[in-house]
Every structure is written in C-alpha cells, then in structure tokens.
C-alpha cells in the first residue's frame, strides 16, 4: 500500500480520498477550508494537514482535484505548495479539469525537481466519485502512469493513458464537447414532447431503447421533467470547461459550432440565476422561454 496525499475535498475529491483510504492506502488530506479536511480525517481515520506542502511531505503519490488553473498552480507551486514537500521519484496526479497549457507548465516544473506529473481528469460526476466508478483519462510519461494506475484504480472504473503530457486534458475536452451536444439534444427532445402534448416519460421509455439512448437520457430525463436541477455538475463549472474547449479549438484549428452555441445557452442559464444548477438545466431554459 502507498503513502498518498489528496488535495481538494469538493464533491469529487472527498469521496475519492475516501476510496483511497478504504483500499488500504495511507492518506493525508488538504482542503482550503481546513474544517472539511478535519471532518474527512475524523470520518475516515486519515490525517489532515494545514498546507499542501505538509500534506505532500513523505507521500509517494499526491492527488489533486481543485477548481481551475489558478487553484492548481496555488496547490502545486510556492513555498507552501505540494511540489516543495515532494521527494524526487514521487508522482503528482492531477484530477482537475484544467487547460493543457497549465498541465504542461506544471509537468516541466515537476520534472525540474525530479517529480513525475500525470494529468488525469475524471468523468462520472458526483455519483461516480461516491461509487468509485470514475472514468480517468491520463497524459504523461508511460513509466509514471504505470506506477500511478494501480493507485488510481481505487476510485476508477476505467483508467487509460491516452498519450504524452496534456493528452488527458485534451481527452476531457472531447468528453465535455460530447456532453454539451447530448444534453442540448435531450433538452430539445423533451421540450418538443411537452409542446406536442406527449407524455415525456412514455416517450423516453421507448426512444431510450433505440439509437437515441444515452447516459444522459437514462440518468437525467426524470429530474429534468420534474424541474429538479440541484444535483450533478454545475453550469458554472461546465462553462469553465467549455471555455477551455473553445480556447483549445482556436489553437488547434478545430471547428466547434455546436459547442460554442451551447456555451451561450449555458450563459443564458447563468443569467436566469442557475449557475449552480446542474448541466441538464438547459431544459429549464427552453421550458421557461415558452
């Protein structure tokens, strides 16, 4: 079993760190709000630390799941950052969805200190984190990934190395691009059913068994019809991710017309006061627009 640290105990990180402990690993946690780290330690029998550096000291593997590029830099760099406490040969595994640019920046900073850096963004939502069945898409050196994979398996249903540094983040962008179009399509389908006077539940029961079926349809249609949007991945975070996608598209020359349009629809949801609603609230936008 390994000595690990986990930085960031949000709705994803809290249960992920718990799965590491349940798998028998030694776990020290850090969270910006110290009370949450202390609560995790009390619940799981692990340890908490007041700074990323202290959490990372002595750890073979340091995981992070924070908010954005700046948050990730904050927990990695500086005199209180995790890199300052990590020993040569240890591995930093980042589960945050961030830009490939910051991933490559931190990979180089880690490499200069003899530390490996694996970008490993996740998909599966809060339920996936709680049940330990996340999809983990990784980039980084093959040797570092091979060492990290057995530890990541504590909370993963599937974990794959896609390529070199940044490939994990680029794959997560593919994931978010696909989700954006699917949720908008599902929202329009349910909206059309309502306008046509159809029973949305009966419609989904039938079409979900054919080519229209998807995870989003199976797991979100009922809450969408019930006007319940207080679970899952928040619109504010989705817009952050889609912004990363669109910036990367400009750099790579990819054309993302649907993604750009759906991003604006999410902006409308934010204007409705729905920044913390989950991403299926695209349906609420249509329903309330008439």
149 and 250 together in one domain: no
Q: CATH no. for residue 216?
A: 1.10.1040.10
The alpha carbon torsion through 167, 97, 41, 133 (nearest 10 deg) reads -70
pLDDT of the residue at 231: 79
120 and 70 together in one domain: yes
**Strand ranges (E), the chain:** 3-7, 26-30, 47-48, 61-64, 91-94, 116-119, 122-123, 134-139, 156-163
Which of helix, strand or coil describes residue 208? coil
**Residue 174 clears pLDDT 90, i.e. is over it:** yes
The alpha carbon torsion through 91, 96, 99, 103 (nearest 10 deg) reads -10
Mean pLDDT of the chain: 97
pLDDT of the residue at 239: 97
User: How far apart (Å, rounded) are the C-alpha atoms in residues 197 and 190?
Assistant: 11
Domain that holds residue 196: 170-289
Q: For 247-259, what is the mean pLDDT?
A: 97
Q: 165 exposed, middle or buried (CB, 10 Å; 0-12, 13-18, 19+)?
A: buried
Q: pLDDT for 96-117, tens place per residue?
A: 999 999 999 999 999 999 999 9
184 and 126 together in one domain: no
121 and 181 together in one domain: no
Could you give the angle at the alpha carbon of 277 between the alpha carbons of 223 and 212, nearest 5°? 45
**Residue 151 clears pLDDT 90, i.e. is over it:** yes
Contacts of 32 (CB under 8 A, 6+ apart): 8
Q: CATH no. for residue 143?
A: 3.40.50.720
77 and 144 together in one domain: yes
Give the β-pairing of 3-7 and 26-30: parallel
**Residue 46 clears pLDDT 80, i.e. is over it:** yes
pLDDT of the residue at 268: 98
Q: pLDDT for 115-130, tens place per residue?
A: 999 999 999 989 999 9
Q: For 227-250, what is the mean pLDDT?
A: 94
To the nearest whole percent, how much of the chain has pLDDT over 90? Answer: 97
Query: Which of 121, 147, 164 corresponds to the end of one domain?
Result: 164
128 and 192 together in one domain: no
Q: Which residue in the list 21, 36, 51, 172 is annotated as catalytic?
A: 172
Q: For 54-67, what is the mean pLDDT?
A: 98
pLDDT of the residue at 232: 76
Q: For 208-227, what is the mean pLDDT?
A: 96
Report H helices in 113-157. Answer: 125-131, 142-152
Number of domains the chain is built from: 2
Q: Is 21 known to be catalytic? A: no
142 and 198 together in one domain: no
74 and 146 together in one domain: yes
Query: Which of 131, 164, 197 corresponds to the end of one domain?
Result: 164
153 and 189 together in one domain: no
pTM of the entire structure?
Answer: 0.94
pLDDT of the residue at 25: 98
Centre a 10 Å sphere on the Cβ of residue 217 and count the other Cβ atoms it contains. 19
108 and 198 together in one domain: no
129 and 219 together in one domain: no
pLDDT of the residue at 71: 97
């Amino acid at each position: 079993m390994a000595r690990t640290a986990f930085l960031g105990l949000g709705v994803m990180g809290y249960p992920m760190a718990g799965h590491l402990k349940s798998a028998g690993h030694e776990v020290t946690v850090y969270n910006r709000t110290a009370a949450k780290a202390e609560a995790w330690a009390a619940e799981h029998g692990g340890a908490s630390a007041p700074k990323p550096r202290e959490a990372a000291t002595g750890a073979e593997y340091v995981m992070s799941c924070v908010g954005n590029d700046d948050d990730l830099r904050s927990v990695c760099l500086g005199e209180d950052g995790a890199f300052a406490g990590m020993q040569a040969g240890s591995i930093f595994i980042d589960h945050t969805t961030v830009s490939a640019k910051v991933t490559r920046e931190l990979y180089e900073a880690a490499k200069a200190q003899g530390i490996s850096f694996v970008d490993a963004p996740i998909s599966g939502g809060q339920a996936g984190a709680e049940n330990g069945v996340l999809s983990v898409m990784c980039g980084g050196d093959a040797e570092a990934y091979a060492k990290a994979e057995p530890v990541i398996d504590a909370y993963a249903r599937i974990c794959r190395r896609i390529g070199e540094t940044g490939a994990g983040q680029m794959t997560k962008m593919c994931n978010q691009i696909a989700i954006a179009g699917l949720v908008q399509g599902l929202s329009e389908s349910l909206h059309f059913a309502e306008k046509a006077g159809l029973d949305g539940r009966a419609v989904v029961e039938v079409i979900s068994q054919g080519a229209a079926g998807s995870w989003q349809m199976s797991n979100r249609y009922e809450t969408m019809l019930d006007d319940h949007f207080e679970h899952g991945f928040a619109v504010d975070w989705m817009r952050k991710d889609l912004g990363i996608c669109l910036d990367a598209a400009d750099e790579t020359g990819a054309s993302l017309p649907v993604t750009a349009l759906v991003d604006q629809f999410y902006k409308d949801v934010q204007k409705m006061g729905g920044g913390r609603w989950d991403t299926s609230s695209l349906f609420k936008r249509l329903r309330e627009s008439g």
